[in-house]
Amino acid sequence: DLPARVRIHEVGPRDGLQNEKRTVPVEVKADFIRRLAEAGLTTVEATSFVHPKWVPQLADAEELFPLVADLPVELPVLVPNERGLDRALALGARRIAVFASATESFAKANLNRTVDEALGMFDPVVRRAKDRKARVRGYVSMCFGDPWEGAVPIHQVVRVCKALMDMGCDELSLGDTIGVATPGHVLELLSELNEEGVPTSALGVHFHDTYGQALANTLAALQHGVTTVDASAGGLGGCPYAKSATGNLATEDLVWMLHGLGIDTGVDLDRLVATSVWMAAHLDRPSPSRTVRALSHK
Ligand code: HMG
Ligand code: MG
């Protein structure tokens, strides 16, 4: 059985742009977010309150957030630590995401911490965010494969997921950071999480499309009952601290499949495609999304 409606968690302005070498002007970022909201996306991950030296593209978070804060959509932001939380709360952010890793190599590369040190860093962040009535998402990266460690054992992923749930996260996002997952592996992880007491209703999926598996993986997750899917407009993206990561699942490709299946998203696909074509012009590079290409060359 497939769900009647899917909530798309749009990550283009954050995951999509964080890897861009050339700085995108803050007004363009704000326009991007506004256009995504106008295209019907209801959750648009806006930026990250991380160390500006680690992700220079998002160093303008303080400038950007107030430009979009009154849009009638959810605007989650990434925060790695209490310093990041302070910055986000000072601007009135209502949705926070911490980002853990299932592997030691990526925890070190992305957060300069061991897996457990990173969890320790998130603990007060989640607690304080919940005290302020913010909703908290917990990302788990490298849920399937890791560029340094290869295949990632499921028990390692489950341990981190449970720790984040115990901390008080409202939802998790299972990250295939480098896009190596295949549908059977996805189903195995989802089932194992259920068996360990993490309900499907708390789970979102976050696929990168490196090996062209993102849609197949998404369909498997939907058949399992997942209703929250992360995607990036135009297929932008990659992670600066995971060398083999390409763009996320393109939101347009996802919407094409969901609408074809009769699943409601609230997204106006033509407006979304127009937004990605507009953004591609700013980035000076065509969108890698097959759907964007097909619909913009009609
Ligand atoms: P560190 O170097 O260990 O930092 O980095 P520290 O805790 O030792 O602090 C050093 C200095 O940085 C201090 O300043 C802090 O105040 C400052 P000093 O006292 O020396 O003057 N600092 C900050 N400044 C501003 N904002 C902050 C902040 N924190 C500390 N938040 C740290 C540790 C976590 C900060 C760093 O590793 C970092 O910022 N990492 C972020 C990396 C990142 O954003 N990666 C991409 C997102 S994850 C992803 O893309 C995967 C995902 O899409 C899912 C998937 O696909 O798998 C989510
Ligand atoms: Mg990602």
Instruction: Provide Rg for the chain, Cα atoms.
Output: 17
Name which residue sits closest to atom 12 of ligand 1, judged by CA: 51
111-128 b/e (C-beta count within 10 Å ≥ 16 → b): bebebeebbebbbebbeb
Helix (H, G, I), strand (E, B), or coil: what is residue 15?
helix
pLDDT for 246: 79
Q: Are 17 and 24 in contact (CB under 8 A)?
A: yes
**Band (238; pLDDT cuts 50, 70, 90):** low
Does the Cβ of 80 fall within 6 Å of ligand 1? yes
Look up residue 72 and give its two tokens: 């009638």
> Does the Cβ of 138 fall within 6 Å of ligand 1?
no
Q: What is the mean pLDDT of residues 45-65?
A: 98
> 260-279: b or e for each residue (b if 16 or more CB lie within 10 Å)?
eeebebebebeebbbbbbeb
Summarize the confidence of residues 174-190 as an average pLDDT.
97
Residue closest via CA to ligand 1's atom 1 equals 112
ipTM: 0.98
Q: State which ligand 1 atom lies nearest to the alpha carbon of 142.
A: 57
User: What mean pLDDT comes out for the span 98-115?
Assistant: 98
pLDDT in tens, 128-152: 999 999 999 999 999 999 999 999 9
Whether ligand 1 lies within 6 angstroms of the CB of 237 is answered as no
**Mutual angle of helices 115-131 and 82-90, in 10-degree steps:** 30
C-alpha of residue 109 to centroid of ligand 2, in Å: 14
For helices 104-111 and 115-131, the axis angle rounded to 10 degrees is: 60
Cα of 298 to ligand 2 centre, how many Å?
Answer: 30
Positions marked catalytic: 239
State phi, psi for 50 to the nearest 5 degrees.
-105, 180
In tens, the pLDDT along 75-106 reads 999 999 999 999 999 999 999 999 999 999 99
What is the secondary structure of 204-260 as a DSSP string?
EEEEB-TTS-HHHHHHHHHHHT--EEEEBGGG----TT-TT--PBPBHHHHHHHHHH
188-202 pLDDT per residue, tens: 999 999 999 999 999
- Phi, psi for 28 (deg, rounded to 5): -70, -40
Residue 178 near residue 147, CB atoms below 8 Å:
yes
278 lines ligand 1 (CB under 6 A): no
Task: State pLDDT tens for residues 209-224.
Answer: 999 999 999 999 999 9
Q: Residue 85 in contact with residue 136, Cβ under 8 Å?
A: no
Instruction: Tell me what the mean pLDDT of segment 237-256 comes to.
Output: 83
